[in-house]
Amino acid sequence: MSSFSIFITAIDVWQQIFRYIGYKLMMVIWVDADACPKVIKEVLYRAADREKVQITFVANQRLSVPPSPFLKTLQVPAGFDVADNEIVLRAQAGDLIITADIPLAAEVMEKGAVALNPRGERYSEATIRERLTIRDFMDTMRASGVQTGGPASLNQRDRQQFANELDKWLLQRRKSLA
């Protein structure tokens, strides 16, 4: 382990300690990066430097992000829900979680985090319950052999909706830090 890696790890530890004892140094964005579309990652790269907000991309594979003091990657072991569980473990109230995974969104919302999907839908208590019900129904249909198909391709309107919702969260963050 290089001295730079040790330094970065020490910073991460201190940040978690400060966040734990209530000195919210900054709100963080966590990205469920395994399935996050490239175009959404690019929006996040630009936002990190513009707003000086820490964004951590969590995946079970090696990721490459542009050089920036605000962009981090966290590679977790391969396995079912390993990245999701890591995000739940690290997320704090007020953080923003980018995910299309409905159960992950529900779990982080229980901790007080905000969940936003790559199409720009910001989940609420009402919509997350509805989404969980639909997801469970679709799982039942697939288990019985019905072909349900997947989500439609991400389009320009989705990308714009995502950017708009991200900007709203960043504005709220700026106001809370002022």
Question: What's the pLDDT score for residue 124?
Answer: 87
Who has greater pLDDT, 26 or 162?
A: 162
- Cα-flanking dihedrals φ and ψ of residue 159, to 5°? -60, -45
Model pLDDT for residues 56-88, shown as the tens digit of each residue: 999 999 999 999 999 999 999 999 899 999 999
Question: What's the pLDDT score for residue 4?
Answer: 47
Model pLDDT for residues 85-137, shown as the tens digit of each residue: 999 999 999 999 999 988 999 999 999 999 999 999 999 888 877 776 666 66
Q: What is the mean pLDDT of residues 12-32?
A: 67
pTM: 0.79
Question: What's the pLDDT score for residue 3?
Answer: 54
Who has greater pLDDT, 7 or 110?
A: 110
Question: What's the pLDDT score for residue 22?
Answer: 47
Tell me the domains of the chain and their CATH numbers: 3-177 (3.40.50)
